[in-house]
Amino acid sequence: MIKVAGILIYSNLQLYPMEKLEIVCIESEAFYKLLEQVLLHFKVKEPQVADKWISGPEAMKMLRIKSKATLQKMRDEGHIRYTQPEKKIILYDVDSINDYLEDFVYEPFSNSSGKTIKRG
């Protein structure tokens, strides 16, 4: 019998010839600490829901632009949707930013008819 951190381990118990069994006795406090660690390890992380509305710096990062003036120009020209819940707070619609970026996607390997050519 060995006792380590509140856990008792009985070793070399034989039930049948040629078979060994280990019995582990654990104090309840140690058991619950161990159980908590196991649950944390295997806990499935919940997918984080993306915000529909993001701040100016986040929008600039998505659009890969550095200038606030460029962001304002895109807003003023109606390229991206925004809301202004307070005088100095402007939030941008993530879906509209993604739609704007999708408008400029070029399909690779297109022939003159505009259809995509499959390789391989």
What pLDDT, on a 0 to 100 scale, did the predictor assign at position 20? 65
pLDDT of 30 > 90? The answer is no
Which amino acid would we find at residue 22?
A: E
State which H helix or E strand residue 41 sits in.
helix 28-42
Q: What percent of the chain has pLDDT over 70?
A: 68
Helices (H), 43-87: 56-63, 68-76
Q: Structure tokens of 97?
A: 């930013």
**Of the ranges 39-48, 60-69, 106-115, which one carries the lowest mean pLDDT score?**
106-115
Query: For residue 45, is it within any domain?
Result: no
**Of the ranges 23-27, 38-42, 43-47, 70-74, which one carries the lowest mean pLDDT score?**
43-47
Mean residue pLDDT of the chain comes to 80
What pLDDT, on a 0 to 100 scale, did the predictor assign at position 45? 67
Query: For residue 48, is it within any domain?
Result: no
Query: For residue 113, is it within any domain?
Result: no
- Find the domain containing 95 and state its range: 53-102
